[in-house]
Amino acid sequence: MQRKQNKTKEQIKDDIRAIEKTKRQIILAKLLFPHMGDLGCIYDAQTALSAFSGYLQAEMEKKLRELKVADLKIDLSDEPESAIKNTMVKFLGQLEPENAQDVVDLLESYARILGTYGQNQFLKNPMSIIKVEDLIKDE
């Protein structure tokens, strides 16, 4: 017999967001569908949807490229006080005038580089640092 597991607050929030997204998509579909009926065939409707989506994405990308870090409301108040939070606050202060997408790309790149470096350094350790308990998951 399988035991029922209660959902976390985050899982409940995700469920609510998914329901609201579905409701919003139904509203938008009802707005769009009558206009697609004016087209001669399914292919034309598909083309209109894809083309308009492409135009929207291109304009959104332009706007995103124009955003500076200072244009964004970065709220770190939920983060616990720590050296990590203090470093993020310093990053924010230093990077405010910079292009937000450039900063995101740089931060993700540096995080990947540090992750790879850490993995490579860890792999050089002797096998003796690992215990069998490290490999076995408690279920």
Same-domain status, 76 and 98: yes
Is residue 134, in this structure, part of any structural domain at all? no
Same-domain status, 123 and 76: yes
Q: What value does the CA radius of gyration of the chain take, rounded to a whole number of Å?
A: 24
Give the per-residue pLDDT at 16.
94
**CA 101 – CA 60 distance, rounded (Å):** 12
Same-domain status, 15 and 41: yes
What type of residue sits at position 133? Answer: E
**Of 66, 87, 115, which residue sits at a domain end?**
66
Same-domain status, 15 and 59: yes
Structural domain for 90, as ranges: 70-129
**CA 30 – CA 123 distance, rounded (Å):** 56
**Of 66, 81, 106, which residue sits at a domain end?**
66
127 phi and psi, to 5 degrees? -60, -25
Same-domain status, 41 and 87: no
List % helix, strand, coil for the chain (3-state, nearest 5). Answer: 70, 0, 25
**Of 34, 49, 66, which residue sits at a domain end?**
66
Give the per-residue pLDDT at 134.
74
Is residue 3, in this structure, part of any structural domain at all? no
Same-domain status, 58 and 37: yes
Q: What is the pTM of this model?
A: 0.55
CA distances from 88 to 67, 75, 78 (A): 19, 11, 13
Is residue 136, in this structure, part of any structural domain at all? no
Give the per-residue pLDDT at 97.
94
Give the per-residue pLDDT at 137.
63
Give the per-residue pLDDT at 138.
58
Beta carbons within 8 Å of 139's beta carbon, 6+ residues apart? none
Give the per-residue pLDDT at 130.
78
Same-domain status, 83 and 33: no
The mean pLDDT values, 10 residues at a time, for the chain of 139 residues are 80 92 92 88 92 95 92 92 94 94 92 85 82 71
Is residue 139, in this structure, part of any structural domain at all? no
The residue among 78, 65, 73 whose CA lies nearest residue 104 is: 65
Same-domain status, 59 and 95: no
Report how many domains make up the chain: 2
